Amino acid sequence: MDALQIYVAIAIIILAIMAFFIIFRARKKKKEKLTPLAALAFVFVFAGIVFGETRAVGYSLMGIGVVLAVIDIIIKSKKNKKRQ
């Protein structure tokens, strides 16, 4: 295994651990469904990790995912302000 494959494997393991903790916490709290925009952002970030061999492609996909996640956060915060 070269260094890139090791980094990708570590990133996947960390994402799996994070997903486990999110699922564990979700059982205790009320369930909040994942918005379609947040799911799309997650898919782009994951694709950026998987296709990270070409730096331009990997960073572009991750960047798109982060931008979509930020947009989703802004939309959610505006909806919460209107409810209060």
Clarify whether residues 1 and 24 are in a common domain.
yes
Of residues 74, 73, 67, 35, the one with CA closest to residue 48: 67
Clarify whether residues 26 and 37 are in a common domain.
no
Clarify whether residues 42 and 28 are in a common domain.
no
Residues 6+ positions from 8 with CB-CB distance below 8 Å: 49, 50, 52
Dump pLDDT digits (tens) for 1-45: 688 888 888 888 888 888 888 777 766 666 678 889 999 999 999
Q: Structural domain of residue 10, as residue ranges?
A: 1-32
Identify which has the larger pLDDT, 74 or 24.
Answer: 74
Could you give the residue ranges of the DSSP H alpha helices within 1-84? 3-28, 36-50, 55-83
Clarify whether residues 52 and 82 are in a common domain.
yes
Clarify whether residues 12 and 50 are in a common domain.
no
Clarify whether residues 64 and 79 are in a common domain.
yes
